[in-house]
């Protein structure tokens, strides 16, 4: 399989499977058991805790696609519960726990982990701090199914970080990209207040950003042979086809 074909085949399943984890009530319940209040505290403090104890403005700059009010409220609420590093470790455990519950049992997760580790290790993390933070999280291999889910999450963070770079290079703000992709109403659900409808000339820029995102990911997938890319795409398709989840669809947010 050619590099771009492989990226196109795996990008949406990886994104959507990770999105299901982050939005699942079971994930929220793990945050509640850890001491977080209902809301975005566990999500913000856990997902972005790999950045360390940074001001909320830094979190906003790194992640980009969520509105500043959502990030501010969630990060500050989570700060009262536990340090950033502890929250990231707690969120990592939630990632692995969710994977054990949702990755089908007939998937060769050992082979997936071998290929995914090579992709992640091959990545240049310059200008991708959120990805770099997640790559640095320990990933014990004595839990291969949980490790597979953690690597799905890390690969998802890589594409999201590349997409933010691509969006800015193509002359879009993150909010404009969200509106073009999702529309005004859905963009408000991601914390943006009173977003304006997208101007007609923004759609070509967003399409260029999508293509550039794939280009930025290409060096990772060059680490695999044609045959290995075919195997990886097959494994991603099977791994993300959980019977306990609704069918994956287009139009999800790049966050």
Which pair of tokens denotes residue 225? 């042979």
List C-alpha distances in Å: 95 to 148, 153, 211, 249, 254. Answer: 10, 8, 29, 21, 19
* Average pLDDT value for the chain: 93
- Give the confidence band of 131 by pLDDT, cuts at 50, 70, 90: very high
Q: How far apart are CA 150 and CA 153, in angstroms?
A: 5
Establish if 7 belongs to a structural domain.
Answer: yes
Establish if 82 belongs to a structural domain.
Answer: yes
Establish if 180 belongs to a structural domain.
Answer: yes
The count of other CB atoms within 10 Å of the CB of residue 60 is: 19
Name the DSSP class of 38: S
DSSP string, 158-227: HHHHHHHHHHHHTT--HHHHHHHHH-HHHHHTTT-SSPPPPPTTHHHHHHHHHHHHHHHHHHHHTTS-HH
pLDDT of 252 strictly over 80: no
The count of other CB atoms within 10 Å of the CB of residue 220 is: 22
- Quick one: three-class SS letters along 53-80? CCCHHHHHHHHCCCCHHHHHHHHHHHHC
204 CB-contact burial (10 Å; exposed 0-12 / middle 13-18 / buried 19+): exposed
* Whether 101 contacts 149, CB under 8 Å: no
Question: Average of pLDDT values for 56-80?
Answer: 95
| Top-confidence residue, 34 or 140 | 34
Establish if 244 belongs to a structural domain.
Answer: no
Q: What is the pLDDT of residues 91-104, one digit of tens each?
A: 999 999 999 999 99
Establish if 143 belongs to a structural domain.
Answer: yes
Which pair of tokens denotes residue 64? 């980009």
Domain count, the chain: 1
Residue 131 sits in which domain range? 3-237
Establish if 242 belongs to a structural domain.
Answer: no
Establish if 246 belongs to a structural domain.
Answer: no
Establish if 170 belongs to a structural domain.
Answer: yes
Q: What is the pLDDT of residues 140-192, one digit of tens each?
A: 889 999 999 999 999 999 999 999 999 999 999 999 999 999 999 999 999 99
Taking the model in full, what pTM does it have?
0.93
- Give the confidence band of 255 by pLDDT, cuts at 50, 70, 90: low
pLDDT of 136 strictly over 50: yes
């Amino acid at each position: 399989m050619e590099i771009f074909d492989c990226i196109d085949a795996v990008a949406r399943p990886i994104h959507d499977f990770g999105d299901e984890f982050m939005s699942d009530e079971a994930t929220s319940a793990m945050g509640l058991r850890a001491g977080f209040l209902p809301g975005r505290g566990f999500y913000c403090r856990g997902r972005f805790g790999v950045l360390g104890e940074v001001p909320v403005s830094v979190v906003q700059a790194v992640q980009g696609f969520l509105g500043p009010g959502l990030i501010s409220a969630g990060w500050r609420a989570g700060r009262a519960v536990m340090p950033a590093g502890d929250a990231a470790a707690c969120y990592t455990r939630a990632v692995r726990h969710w994977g054990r519950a949702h990755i089908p049992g007939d998937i060769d997760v050992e082979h997936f982990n071998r290929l995914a580790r090579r992709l992640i290790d091959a990545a240049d993390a310059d200008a991708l701090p959120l990805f770099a933070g997640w790559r640095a999280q320990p990933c014990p291999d004595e839990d291969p199914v949980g490790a597979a889910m953690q690597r799905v999450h890390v690969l998802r963070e890589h594409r999201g970080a590349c997409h933010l770079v691509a969006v800015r290079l193509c002359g879009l703000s993150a909010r404009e990209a969200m509106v073009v992709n999702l529309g005004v109403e859905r963009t408000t659900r991601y914390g943006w207040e009173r977003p304006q409808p997208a101007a007609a000339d923004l759609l070509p820029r967003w399409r260029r950003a999508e293509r550039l995102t794939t280009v930025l990911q290409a060096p990772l997938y060059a680490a695999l042979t044609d045959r290995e890319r075919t195997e990886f795409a097959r494994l991603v398709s099977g791994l993300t086809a959980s019977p306990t989840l609704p069918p994956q669809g287009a139009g999800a947010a790049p966050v």
